[in-house]
Structure 1
Amino acid sequence: MENAVFIGLSQQMALKRRLDMTANNLANVNTTAFKSEHPLFEEFLVERLNQEDVSFVQDYGSYRDLREGEFTHTGRPLDLAISGAGYFSIETPEGIRYTRNGSFRLDNDGYIVTINNQALLDENNRKIMVDVQFQEVTVAPDGTITTAPGQTQKIGMVQFENQQVLKQIGNGLYDAEDFRPQPATDVSVMQRTLEKSNVNPILEMTSMIDIMRAYQSAQQLLDSENDLQLKAIEELPAVQ
């Protein structure tokens, strides 16, 4: 009986993890360039002497859906989207972080920054500054920024051999930790455009319903096992 209880509990713990990730995906359905995440599960066998092995559910990781979201035209000159497996480099107090959220603006000093006032970096990891007296800013597909008098700088775009190693840290930023980025290739920048989240709300809602049903089924198993244990406790003294 205890094995059934432990198996049911392991399933509920895995379902809770899946529910948390599904809820986070739904919460970010309108977040620029957000990539949905999904859990990974595997079977965990416990060997028992002279008895059948017990199979549990083990949550051992997650994977990120790297498909591009829909590109939408905004008309704002500092709204940028990357087509391809590239990331913008952003300066933060904790060091350089990476993002695909290209919603930028100019601060009072003329630096191109995110909505959280974190500077966009060029290919040499320097802050990108434009002359604020010139309103026209042009960004070429290769990331070259040109202003009216001909001032040019190039946006630093990087890529990773395995994008799954990037860790989400909030505000659309990723931490590469000890993994070194490489200059991005086969990517292009689209000006006046933003990438939408790639979350499919219908699929996520369907997944949430399936999770709730599976959780209820596991709970019914636990309730049944609890009833059996209580009944056994009541009848064992009479049998003895």
Structure 2
Amino acid sequence: MDALIYTAMSGAERVLRAQQVHANNLANADTTGFRANLELSSAHQVEGAGYAARHLNELASDAVSAREGGQRETGRELDIAIQGPGLFAVQTEQGGATGEAYTRAGGFTLDADGRLLLGRRPVLGEGGPITLPQYSKLEVSADGVISVRTADSAELQAVDRLKLVSPEFSRLRKDEQGLLVARDGAPLDADEGVRVANGRLEGSNVSAVEEMVTTMSLSRDFEIQMRLFKSADGMAEAGNRLIRE
């Protein structure tokens, strides 16, 4: 009897956690460059004497969807979208140490010192964080080379090249800020085959329809688990009544 209770309890817990994953995806359906979290689960045996036939569900929510999001024209020179597989690299700081994180979001800005930023994080190039001189025109080529025309030059001159990577998404997880990082913590190598387009932004890869349908399906699953739990409780009560009599 308790095996049924384990099954119902574990199933209900899995549904509740899965709903959190899909609710977070829905909340970021309009977030530029957001990658949807995937819901993965597996069974593991309950440890201890007498529990060999008892299994619980374990949910892993750090898998990330590699599907591309839709793109829109902006005309802004610092809006850059990756064409096909690939990610931008940005610098992060944690505990006084610098590291790398990755994203599809390409709405970059410049600070007063000419540093290229994504939010407050420096965007990485071939030699580290990218810093641009004062310019009158900027272009980004398909392979990520940033060229500018300065006041003392009549032609565009290459300044740096965006660090673009293209790893398998199974090697990545999300950190606390929602950026992608390598599971082993090591920086990823640049991939010269990644292509970008200037004046475009990629949106979230979340499908609101799919997330809503999945959420409704999970709600029905939760109702079934609760019915199983009540059935197990009723059978346990019936068994106890027979013993008392």
Which TM class, normalised by the smaller chain length?
A: 0.7 to 0.9
Identify the residue that residue 202 of structure 1 maps to in structure 2: 209
> In the TM superposition, what is the alpha-carbon distance from 1:163 to its structure 2 partner?
2.0
Aligned pairs for 1:89-238 (under 5 A) are: 89-94=89-94, 95=98, 96-114=100-118, 116-131=119-134, 134-148=135-149, 149=153, 150-152=156-158, 153-160=160-167, 162-176=168-182, 177-237=184-244
| Segments of 4+ moved more than 6 angstroms | none
Larger CA deviation: 118-127 vs 176-185: 176-185
Aligned pairs for 1:37-76 (under 5 A) are: 37-44=37-44, 53=53, 56-59=56-59, 63-76=63-76
Distance 2:20 2:33 in 1: 20
> In the TM superposition, what is the alpha-carbon distance from 1:62 to its structure 2 partner?
5.2
Distance 1:129 1:110 in 2: 5
> In the TM superposition, what is the alpha-carbon distance from 1:233 to its structure 2 partner?
3.1
Count of equivalent residues: 234
Deviations 1:29-76 (A, max 9, x none): 0111112122223355679xxxx9556544356532201111111111
Aligned residues of 1:44 and 1:57 also touching (Cα < 8 A):
yes
Distance 2:93 2:104 in 1: 19
Identify the residue that residue 22 of structure 2 maps to in structure 1: 22
**Secondary structure in structure 2 of the residue aligned to 1:34:** coil
TM-score (norm 2): 0.84
Distance 1:58 1:126 in 2: 40
Aligned-pair identity in percent equals 27
> In the TM superposition, what is the alpha-carbon distance from 1:151 to its structure 2 partner?
3.4
**Secondary structure in structure 2 of the residue aligned to 1:72:** strand
Consecutive unaligned residues of structure 1, counting only runs of 5 or more, are none
TM-score (norm 1): 0.86
> In the TM superposition, what is the alpha-carbon distance from 1:212 to its structure 2 partner?
0.6
Larger CA deviation: 18-27 vs 166-175: 166-175
Aligned residues of 1:33 and 1:172 also touching (Cα < 8 A):
no
Distance 2:19 2:65 in 1: 17
**Secondary structure in structure 2 of the residue aligned to 1:102:** coil
Distance 1:179 1:98 in 2: 12
Code of the aligned partner of 1:111: R
> In the TM superposition, what is the alpha-carbon distance from 1:3 to its structure 2 partner?
1.2
